[in-house]
Amino acid sequence: MKNYKYYLDKTGEIGYVKRVVHSIAYVEGLPNAVSKEVVLFECGAQGLILSLLDNFIEVLLISSVPVKVGESVARTGEQLTVPLSEELLGSIVSPLVLSLSGEEIVAKPKEKRPVDNEPISILGRTEIKLPFETGVKIVDLMVPLGKGQRELVIGDRKTGKTLFLMQAMLSQSRLNTICVYSAIGKRQQELESVIDFMEENKILSSSVVVATGSADPAGLIYLTPYTAMTIAEYFRDLGRDVLIIMDDLTAHASYYREISLLARRFPGRSSYPGDIFYMHAKLLERAGCFENGTITALPVAESAMGDLTGYIQSNLMAMTDGHIFFDIDRYNRGIRPAINPFLSVTRVGMAAQSPLVRDLNRHLSSFLVHMEEVREFMHFGAEVSDSLKSTLNLGIRVDEFLHQEQLSIVPVNIAIFLLGAIWGGFAKDIDKDKLRTEYDRIFQKYSNVTQFRQFVDSLILGSPSFNDLVQKISKQEGAFSLQ
């Protein structure tokens, strides 16, 4: 982008700021201005034309430089574009693809793309065929995802949503996926903890972080997920698989509401503008499974008191291919991760899984439902039969198995293997307190011992059904010995 004087001479048009209302400036002049055009102020601020009124132009301010009344404005004749190249990997950028201190990051851009793109039509898309591993056992087995799926991560605040996303990022970066994390109006401390995690686990070098703080102008915060999606599309077109995380879209909706109300748009339900659904749907439709690559989207929504019927929450649930629900009750009971597998849904993820995983999912789901019923029954204090006792025993083992420490990942194959072993009675004699240690030992063995890993992988590959796997494992007793 060149300077203000250049555009003034180039276009031969000038405007003057007549009124400034927080993040919206009303400009008089600029007779040939076009909607969504970028304008430059004399003080160096940038703006986007929101709408064209009779006597004024409504400009959304996207810089933190303050704009005064009477200031002159030049239009650039261009839409908002961002420079893109592989130099972006490993950097933390603002929505204008500048460093957080305002310097240029991409010195030699390979491409410049507009931030607001049309999503690819149905002709450019393919079926979701490959599984998407998050490294979190309960998700990979109960609510499995596919590459190219849009899965909403929803829950109350402080229930572990961001931690789950970091686990997913860690798993996927190990599988050579590019991660694009967009922090929408986050507090500095929260952003720093995510970045520290990415640096420690060496995933920052294959990721891009698009961040805005809560002190940034509303216009800039509004652009954050759009820039992140444009960057994701660029890497998808290079043939890579991309994971995009939008943390979080409820905050994004509230900043958009602020902008719309200031621009005197008619308020709808909960004072949100009427086009809030369109705004999010257009963004999420840009993710998916395409011919040259996939973009898997994990948008985040915050609910209040577990209420999934809120406006933005239900909107997002409608436009995604499923949701993972973080239950505050489970969190308070100490269950980690606090995912409620009965209230979580995956619409297209199952089709991308192997027959074994589908069969396992059926068994596990029906078992967990049965366990819930049994637990309800236990409240009566009735006497317990032997079969019920063994069910309860297995239930405890499965619960301990599904528990996962924060920021730890477990490859899906070993999770399936261990569940099969537990199903076959491997852990029935181990004390409840020692179960987690025992499970961790086996996970460590999978990571460290190549022979064991190969054995497990081949066993999983060669088992068409869950019962088949359980039988095969029961025959291999020596597999769990310490050596």
Binding residues (CB under 8 A) for another protein: these are 8-9, 11-15, 28-31
> Residue 77 CB, nearest distance to another protein (Å)?
14
> Residue 43 CB, nearest distance to another protein (Å)?
16
* Single-letter amino acid, residue 103: E
Of 29 and 90, which has the nearer Cβ to another protein?
29
Strand-pair category, 294-302 with 288-289: antiparallel
Q: Is 75 a catalytic residue?
A: no
DSSP at 274: T
Q: DSSP H helical segments within 242-354, as ranges? A: 249-262, 276-284, 311-319, 328-332
Of 16 and 452, which has the nearer Cβ to another protein?
16
> Residue 41 CB, nearest distance to another protein (Å)?
14
Burial 135-150 (b: 16+ CB within 10 A, else e): bbbbbbbbbbbbbbbb
What's the rounded Cα separation, in Å, for the pair 205 and 252? 27
Task: For residue 16, report the phi and psi dihedrals to the nearest 5 degrees.
Answer: -125, 140
> Residue 162 CB, nearest distance to another protein (Å)?
48
Of 29 and 109, which has the nearer Cβ to another protein?
29
Of 56 and 326, which has the nearer Cβ to another protein?
56
User: In this structure, what token pair is assigned to residue 180?
Assistant: 């694009």
> Residue 14 CB, nearest distance to another protein (Å)?
4
User: Cα–Cα–Cα angle for 35, 40, 41, nearest 5°?
Assistant: 120
Of 15 and 299, which has the nearer Cβ to another protein?
15
Q: Which residue among 347, 358, 436, 453 is the active-site one?
A: 347
Contacts of 356 (CB under 8 A, 6+ apart): 416, 460, 463, 464, 465, 466, 469
Of 42 and 233, which has the nearer Cβ to another protein?
42
Contacts of 90 (CB under 8 A, 6+ apart): 204, 205, 206, 207, 208
Q: Which of 135, 224, 159 is nearest to 186 (CA)?
A: 224
> Residue 8 CB, nearest distance to another protein (Å)?
6
Active site residues: 347
